[in-house]
Amino acid sequence: MKIMNQGLEDEMEVWGYRPCLWKRILVGVGSVCSGGLLLLLLYWLPEWGVKGTCTHTSLRDAHTLLLRTTDEFKQWFRARVHVISAPGEKPFDSLDLPSTAQAANGGLCASSEEHHGKSRQPVQINYFSHHSTKYYWNDVMQNFESHKGLEDVKMSCGSIHSDHSPGLPKSLQDYRRLFFGENEIAVRVPSLFTLLMKEVLNPFYIFQLFSVILWSAEDYYYYATAIVFMSVISIATSLYTIKKQYVMLHDMVAAHSVVRVSVCRGSKDIEQALSTDLVPGDVVIIPANGMIMPCDAVLTHGTCIVNESMLTGESVPVTKTSLPASGEEAARSFDMEEHKRHVLFCGTHVIQTRFYAGELVQAVVVRTGFSTEKGQLVRSILHPKPTDFKLYRDAYLFLLCLVGVAGIGFIYTIILSIMNKVPAKTIITESLDIITITVPPALPAAMTAGIVYAQRRLKRVGIFCISPQRINMCGQLNLVCFDKTGTLTEDGLDLWGVQTAESGRFLPPEADPAKESLVDTVFVACMATCHSLTKIEGELSGDPLDLKMFSATGWILEEPTEEETALHNPIMPTVVRPPTHSVPEANQNNMELSELPSCEIGIVRQFPFSSTLQRMSVVVRKLGEKHMKAYLKGAPEVVAHLCKQHTVPQSFTETLETYTRQGFRVIALAHRQLESKLSWHKVQSLGRDLIETNMEFIGLIIMQNKIKEETAGVLLELRQANIRTVMVTGDNMLTAISVARDCGMVRAHEKVIIADAVPPKDFHPASITWHYTENPAQTDKEHRTVEINLEDAVLDKRVTQQEQNYHFAVTGRAFAVLTEHFPQLVQKLVLRATVFARMAPDQKTELVEVLQSIDYTVGMCGDGANDCGALKRAHSGISLSELEASVASPFTSTTSNISCVPNLIREGRAALVTSFCVFKFMALYSIIQYLSVTLLYSILSNLGDFQFLFIDVAIILIIAFTMSLNPAWKELVRQRPPSSLISGRLLCSVLTQIVTCLVFQVLAFLLVRQQSWYETWTPQSDACNVSRSSVSHSQNVTSPRDHKNIKNYENTTLFYVSSFQYLAIAIVFSKGKPFRQPSYKNWPFMLSCMSLYTFVLLIMLYPVPAIDSFLEIVILDIILGRLVFRCNQGVNLPTQPLSAGAPQEANDRWASSFLLWLFCRRNKPPRVSYHQLAIGLKDDADWPPRPATVTYARDLRSHTSAPL
């Protein structure tokens, strides 16, 4: 056994097998003897199929591979090994160069001297395909590996320029295509026949087929026809939905997947080719008018403006610059994630390009096909991970229990039939019939109905869902993470003011940077140039913050045309200039026109904003000046660190804290004059590290980020519903804390403790300093109880009697230190951490995983840009995007505020409760029918064909589908719906109903036999058709006589009793408040119940001969009718049958108290991890740490050292 993709998300174990003749013969014989059942079993269980027909062998010699994922799902897959013939063993090997030479394009030459000057002999290479990825055999690793693209070679940024600028010769391109295949994200739409076979071979439909054959053998043609009809509709609906999804995905992917591109073929040769021919290492030319990228490629020459909304959900144009060709950064190893600001991703739209005269905008292909960023997204849609939810696991366990019950009935029927000397054929059919009764065929369809209805209701409120099964998960959310900017606060920022710095001190703040006194300052010049704005069709476009900052200056931006660019050797810069009226009139009067100072500034080089570095910079040149300048903007702490210390005002920290405490977003600016010897071309090759150093601090821009109107109300609603809220942002710590206070995440009387962790340095261990932002005095122990979300009502009352009055706040840097050096404290911190600031995208994902590790059911709400990983990882991710559907998130809201979150949770809770109601109803239905049939088998009788038809279609299906229509309750309550079917409360509810139904069925069965008018049925008897005096004798003559023993007193009695029981349990299990609207507001369900009650009562009390004959029931004495009705009314029916589920609530309350007493659960510790942590911390006198103390990595047991 070997491990493939080790350490990656799709890590798998792999075993090798080769065909075994004798095993195949045995399987063939077994399949014939079992009527094909063995083949079906091997189809459903791939590991059995491989082990049953093959013998184990080495991976090198394997013909068939058995794969198993290493995640919690442990899925099995089967793959067939194929062979290709290629001139080399790896895609980046050279073909015919000497062995001592280094191949162009990063590949190594042949290792054997016999290939010197000769063509290689073809090599046979084993490979297999799995989930749209090919894996090739590697003799060195003795394992299979996948080839992602050019980055497999592990080359530096500089070598990509030097080795790949000429492009690939045609022969090398053809060779690499053998390994990478066509550059196409091929979504094959399966044929209807293929989809039909996959659907029909589902175990559920095979079981239905078995049931239909059995019923047909018993002449139950009508019911069998009804089941076939329902199955055909279900299969047709499913095929239509699946086919539609495939076609939509195919059309989305294929829209721009095949285009014509210009490809470099050595030196200056350029040829036109289809994008499907591209391979890693090809050099493509990006046209001036842009294109849809057909692959992932890294820019080597020029600049591009790109719309990446397909990947991020944000349609803000992004500037992509060329990969560094020299300097320190060029020596670094190329990495797609680290250098993504230079990468054009597949599927993104290149809007504009900037280029040099005589030089084209070029990009080297890095990845193709399904290896691209877009390909991986499509692959995750085509091959999603199974949904892991406790409800579904418990449902399978419950079905196994039903199968066990069916097995008991199966054995009982066989023994009883043998004792009564029943023919063998009858024994087989009746014993198998018990199995079809116990496992209800309509269960999956009924369970899905509630989710489908919830999905439609969500769509009506503007929430679109691409993963319907996750709706149920939303019902269990007990923690929601929110991004800040664009989610809790407005997307755009308003400029509050600026505060310039001069000679190491701050000047008074100014409200308008466009005022005359500031026009000619370096501060305004920095604001006007340090951005990534561009003009698209005459309109300024770019990051909203940059737009707001630039528009505040009042300056004008002009971009060169293609004609202007072609006239100059150096690149024509983007130019910014102040409006003409900005030059003071006094100066204009005293100067000649030629003497007027020019304020035009050209942007020579741009280093785009990096979320990792938290800054951006530009190199500019003012018209008429010899020197170039560098302008820098970014996070204040980062900018101050890059500046000369004497230029940073001494009051910098206090001033920054003053603004951030008030919730302002602060951006710092700096500048530097560059050496005069730097030429335009030399600047283009410099790394940003050489530019962004020894800067001079010039001031602060203060932006106001307003909280959205809906934010505070929604967060209050979630808090009242016992759902914890957490802020995860990339913004400044103090700004985030201020917003958290303003929106109600942190209340006025609560302290915030900043955990400032630093890594080990100079023999000092890693440490955490605890800063209290409010009221640092330590609170008394009795006031430091733990407030958490609790499922158990008893624990909830005990732990949250006094609310905790502190929250932790953690930065991204501190979070990284904590996870590496303080793993024991991470869970304690996240239990009470409410603000996470300066978090990188991957850290957001890591945080979600940590919260899930302590048993939180986590929701994530973000704007879809930096939150993609967290949105995918969370149990329920909702993206606030204008797009109707987002590939990154299961849910997408068209409303741009967080009011969608309570709506989603309410619908999730309603759908979850509906699933429980329907499952319990269907389980009880099968048990009630099982009890009826078992009792009738004791007298060699059974329910009739039309009785089954009436029960299963007229009662069960109508009730099951209408009881799912209850809308969600209008409020979120503190209580959460149960998450498990295998819980004491629910089991007690089901078992009490089973016992009640059993008692009354047995009681009715025995009572009817004790009546004076009762006569035992025999094949020659006509006793059951003796009429009452009011019915003429001629209407009750049986002709011919019923030889199946259907029309007898016991059958009719149990038919009536069971019919009332089905309707009774439907009402009892149709739960309303506090998660769904009351049942009386569900008029289809109410109308169905009323109609069915009325119908059954009428045919029992006032028989209609045609209906009696159709249902094969006999006319009972009026006394028995009253007895049956009174029994059911007194026991099973609530006094207000269509209210909000009062019997079920009483049952739950009684069951909960009884089970707590029975199993002594009142004093037992909670099961979920965060409950246990909370109880432990409540008794920890050293938690939270006291103000101004330090925790060292070596002092974890004592927690804190002496105060600072």
How many whole angstroms from its chain centre is CA 533?
33
* Burial of 627 (C-beta count, 10 Å sphere; 0-12/13-18/19+): exposed
CA R_g for the chain: 37
- Residue type at position 847: L
Is 483 annotated as catalytic?
Answer: yes
DSSP string for residues in 1070-1118? ---TTTB--GGG-HHHHHHHHHHHHHHHHHHHS--HHHHHHHT-----H
Two tokens, residue 317 = 């144009």
Two tokens, residue 1085 = 């369900």
DSSP string for residues in 488-509? TB-SS-EEEEEEEEETTEEPPP
Start-to-end Cα distance in the chain: 55
Cα-flanking dihedrals φ and ψ of residue 425, to 5°? Answer: -60, -40
Q: How many CB atoms lie within 10 A of CB 3?
A: 12
Q: What's the CA gap between 330 and 323, in Å, rounded?
A: 8
Question: Could you tell me which residues are beta bridge partners of residue 770?
Answer: 755
- Residue type at position 88: G
User: 273: closest CA among 262, 288, 284, 281?
Assistant: 262
SS3 content of the chain, % helix, strand, coil (to 5): 45, 20, 35
Question: Could you tell me which residues are beta bridge partners of residue 145?
Answer: 136
Two tokens, residue 1022 = 């006509």
- Map residue 763 onto helix, strand or coil: coil
Q: Is 674 left (phi over 0), alpha (psi -120 to 50) or beta?
A: beta
532 close to 546: Cβ distance less than 8 angstroms: yes
150 close to 106: Cβ distance less than 8 angstroms: yes
Continuous segment of H or E residues that includes residue 923: helix 900-937
- Residue type at position 726: V
CB contact set of 161 (below 8 Å; sequence gap of 6+): 300, 323, 325, 330
Q: How many CB atoms lie within 10 A of CB 608?
A: 18
Q: What's the CA gap between 959 and 1092, in Å, rounded?
A: 10
Question: Could you tell me which residues are beta bridge partners of residue 620?
Answer: 603, 629
Question: Could you tell me which residues are beta bridge partners of residue 291?
Answer: 350
- Residue type at position 192: L
CB contact set of 783 (below 8 Å; sequence gap of 6+): 802, 805
Beta strands 1190-1192 and 767-772 are antiparallel
Helices (H), 776-893: 793-799, 812-821, 823-832, 841-853, 868-873
Cα-flanking dihedrals φ and ψ of residue 406, to 5°? Answer: -60, -35
The one catalytic residue in 10, 93, 296, 483 is 483
Beta strands 601-610 and 76-80 are unpaired
Cα-flanking dihedrals φ and ψ of residue 507, to 5°? Answer: -90, 165
The CA-atom distances, in angstroms, between 112 and each of 115, 737, 826, 863, 1170 are 6, 64, 54, 55, 61
Q: Using the structure block, give the residue that is written with the tokens 């300066």.
A: 838
Angle, helices 1083-1101/1118-1131, rounded to nearest 10 degrees: 150
* Burial of 645 (C-beta count, 10 Å sphere; 0-12/13-18/19+): exposed
Q: Using the structure block, give the residue that is written with the tokens 């149960």.
A: 978
- Map residue 228 onto helix, strand or coil: helix
Active site residues: 483
